[in-house]
Structure 1
């Protein structure tokens, strides 16, 4: 899986709503908190993100086909406002790999590595911030594997979250290991 190449493109809310709806409403995506969303709800949500200068949704492509979803956001203006002290160079991130009938060993870690590489390609990004649900043990392990360090539990309106950070240096060391 380490030689897997991914490309990124912005989500097109109209064109991608059906695909995203299938992904975010699947039981595997329970932590995405859209299980009961209709297709129109997904389209509206991603239309709002597309119009927001501080929040961006991207599809990760493998061989030109949509393979995962990532979102990046400014945590000083979205998601984490008032919940931690943002630093210059912070970027928030979410990612979702869709459910599949043919799981591929190492795929999700390869996706997370690609997402982090993509974020750190921007020289202004110094640290990636995540806030996954405290119950999502699988993502905590993946985050740790690429260099995230958990700081503390925080309470968001929709969940209890584990606030975690990954610097460029910690990411480089983790993926080099």
Structure 2
């Protein structure tokens, strides 16, 4: 089993922890999440398990990219992807700066939603990103129609810098500096980051 690389405690919702994705072990779990109708913005609704395994093996093998399974009170409950914007199609669309890191996140679809859970997941994701002292800005490119994530992003300090056309979507290119995240008042309490 993968080692926990980051964890934090949310005062209301409990323990959040992060471990690297293991493509072979996690295929069934991730396939269930990514093909659920609530995950439409991940553009994998029709993916087969082999497609999911291949996707996460590619992430694992690509320098500057990694993926994590997030645990809530020990139960797998969210997904994080971290990537290097300079090695993505974004590099042609904005001026990548030293210390930029790209990310995607997904709160696992559930029939029993918990109020504030997705916000707590995003806080965990942002704390993870900024736990690396070399990270100066987090970059995201959510679909223009994903209004719920736009609202969450704004809450933690993201600023929209452009509307861009990517291969599979029209997106709001947004950035969040470390200072903006801290100023948002949403930063969580980091308990431990294991060395990578």
Settle same-fold status: TM greater than 0.5: yes
Where does residue 6 of structure 2 map in the other structure? none
Which of 5, 10, 13 is the equivalent residue of 2:15?
Answer: 5
Where does residue 68 of structure 2 map in the other structure? 58
Where does residue 69 of structure 1 map in the other structure? 79
Aligned residues: 177
Moved over 3 A (4+): none
Where does residue 190 of structure 2 map in the other structure? none
Secondary structure in structure 1 of the residue aligned to 2:85: coil
- Check if 1:106 corresponds to 2:116: yes
CA contact (8 A) 1:46 1:57 kept: yes
CA contact (8 A) 2:123 2:186 kept: no
* Greater RCO (CA < 8 Å, at least 6 residues apart): 2
Where does residue 14 of structure 1 map in the other structure? 24
Where does residue 142 of structure 1 map in the other structure? 152
- Report the Cα distance in structure 1 between the residues aligned to 2:132 and 2:154, rounded to whole angstroms: 22
The structural deviation recorded for 1:5 is 2.5
CA contact (8 A) 2:10 2:16 kept: no
- Report the Cα distance in structure 2 between the residues aligned to 1:37 and 1:167, rounded to whole angstroms: 34
Query: Residues 125 and 140 from structure 1, CA distance in 2 versus in 1: closer, same or farther, beyond 3 angstroms?
Result: same
- Report the Cα distance in structure 1 between the residues aligned to 2:89 and 2:184, rounded to whole angstroms: 26
Instruction: Write out aligned runs for 1:121-140 (5 A).
Output: 121-140=131-150
Where does residue 48 of structure 2 map in the other structure? 38
- Check if 1:94 corresponds to 2:104: yes
- Check if 1:156 corresponds to 2:175: no
- Report the Cα distance in structure 1 between the residues aligned to 2:143 and 2:35, rounded to whole angstroms: 17
- Report the Cα distance in structure 2 between the residues aligned to 1:122 and 1:38, rounded to whole angstroms: 34
Unpaired stretches in structure 1, ≥5 consecutive residues: none
CA contact (8 A) 2:80 2:103 kept: yes
User: What is the TM-score of this pair, normalised by structure 2?
Assistant: 0.87
- Check if 1:78 corresponds to 2:88: yes
Secondary structure in structure 1 of the residue aligned to 2:105: strand
User: What is the TM-score of this pair, normalised by structure 1?
Assistant: 0.96
The structural deviation recorded for 1:55 is 1.0
- Report the Cα distance in structure 1 between the residues aligned to 2:59 and 2:89, rounded to whole angstroms: 12
